[in-house]
Homo-oligomer: A and B are copies of this chain.
Amino acid sequence: MSNDSYRVLDRDSLPGYLAEIPEVTAVLGDCTDLEILEIGDGNLNFVYRVNNATDSTKSVIVKQAVPYLRMVGEEWPLSRDRMTYEIRALSLYNEVVPDLVPTIYHADEEMSTLVMQCLSDHIILRIGMIEGITYPDVAEHIGLFMAETLFTTSAWSMGSLERRELMDRFTMNAELCKLTEEFIFTFPYMDHESNYSNPATDAWAKENVHTDIDYKRDVLHFKDLFVSKTDALLHADLHSGSLMVNQQESYVIDMEFAYFGPFGFDVGKVISNFLLCCTSHYHRSGGAEYREWLLEQIPVIWNTFEARFLELWEAAGESAMMTNGFFSDTELADMRSAFMVNLLQESAGFAACSMARRTLGIAGVADIRDIEDLEIRSTLEIANLKLSKRLMAERNTLSTIDDMLALIRDYYSSPIL
């Protein structure tokens, strides 16, 4: 994918680059006087907000991948091909869920650069949730996003040939898949130099995670699904930091991890982020009321997801998986019900993995890691690990989202702090 026309953009070269793109000047207007703000707080890429200096409402976001891990520097090489996959995924999402992702103004695979809609009235959902802000529609938006993107790219929707053509465009997002394989499904469950450390948490994990063979086998089962199940095109990094929200709207961003993986991965990751935040609010200002709001979002996410997924399925014609006449209508309905139960259980397992990695692995969540008192933090970390273990151990007893919520409520009914 790489070729010679690539160069790293900076404040000096950005205006000239943007001025050549009609779709961008149509938004920014005159490009001779631009304000450029580097806003990337992510680990991988450079992200700039660029606006017209005389009218700041005229603005765009420029995101460029560099051939190394930005948070570390050039000594950690990482192919900038990741931007190719983000471009491909965001382009597809603009077809499938245009209201839930930023509009693309310009996508440039050779320059590993994306110029897109600036979401200046929105904040990162994680930041809002840490502050205890409620969002009336975010759960529904998340459910819709997952239903539309997962169903549409699955073998229950696509024909066999077109599905393999789409898969072929994502197979080689290999480096980012490897990061997930290691940092979500491997290192957190063993002694590893990359892991986070907090003494009391470390001691608990040594006793209760590293030596829990059933739990680790289950983790490996989910790693196997991540590595070798190609149900649908996943966002594959769908946590509360990958959503920009306000009281009306929600936008999903940062899809550079996109690849064909198991249905439950996106769903489980989303759910785990509501749980991690819920645990954190035993210490944070939101308290019981906000914790209740967080928990109530979980069935809204699932029920919206499930209803829309089934609605799309019922409307779908023949596909790689389904040929008219194979099942009667009743048989089909029964099969779909069983399918959704299985997907719920799989999501619970992936949620469990996500909670453990955010607790023990290198990449924590600010909800927990920003708590300065290490003892309080550790208590909450251990609480998250215990919930992870329960979700994993009991996942196959869950038939409905109400079962899952009952398990979670039961867990939180014991003292946490």
Chain A interface (Cβ within 8 Å of chain B)? Answer: 155, 160-161, 164-165, 167-168, 171-172, 174-175, 177-178, 181-182, 186-187, 189-192, 213, 216-217, 220, 223-224, 227-231, 260, 320-321, 323, 325-327, 331, 334-335, 338
Neighbouring B residues of A190 by C-beta, 8 Å: 323, 325-326
**A324 closest partner in B (C-beta):** B190
Neighbouring B residues of A189 by C-beta, 8 Å: 326
Neighbouring B residues of A320 by C-beta, 8 Å: 178, 181, 227
- Are the CB atoms of B155 and A227 closer together than 8 Å? yes
- Are the CB atoms of B186 and A160 closer together than 8 Å? no
- Are the CB atoms of A331 and B216 closer together than 8 Å? yes
Neighbouring B residues of A334 by C-beta, 8 Å: 213
Copies in the complex: 2
- Are the CB atoms of A228 and B227 closer together than 8 Å? no
Neighbouring B residues of A192 by C-beta, 8 Å: 325
**A326 closest partner in B (C-beta):** B190
- Are the CB atoms of A217 and B168 closer together than 8 Å? no
Bound-complex Cα distance A227 to B232 (A): 11
Bound-complex Cα distance A229 to B213 (A): 25
Picked from B160, B177, B216, the residue with its CB within 8 Å of the CB of A326 is: B216
Known: A164-B174, A192-B325. 10 other contacts (CB 8 A): A160-B181, A161-B178, A164-B171, A171-B171, A182-B323, A189-B326, A190-B325, A216-B326, A217-B331, A223-B321
Query: What are 13 contact pairs spanning A and B, CB under 8 A?
Result: A155-B224, A155-B228, A160-B174, A160-B178, A164-B177, A165-B174, A168-B172, A178-B320, A189-B326, A190-B326, A216-B331, A228-B229, A228-B231
- Are the CB atoms of B327 and A216 closer together than 8 Å? yes
Neighbouring B residues of A228 by C-beta, 8 Å: 155, 229-231, 260
Neighbouring B residues of A230 by C-beta, 8 Å: 228-230
Bound-complex Cα distance A192 to B324 (A): 10
Picked from B182, B213, B231, B321, the residue with its CB within 8 Å of the CB of A220 is: B321
**A174 closest partner in B (C-beta):** B164
Bound-complex Cα distance A224 to B189 (A): 30
- Beyond A223-B321, A320-B227, A321-B224, whether A177 also contacts B191 by CB under 8 A is no
Neighbouring B residues of A186 by C-beta, 8 Å: 323, 326
- Are the CB atoms of B161 and A174 closer together than 8 Å? yes
- Are the CB atoms of A168 and B165 closer together than 8 Å? no
**A180 closest partner in B (C-beta):** B160
- Beyond A155-B228, A216-B331, A217-B335, whether A160 also contacts B172 by CB under 8 A is no
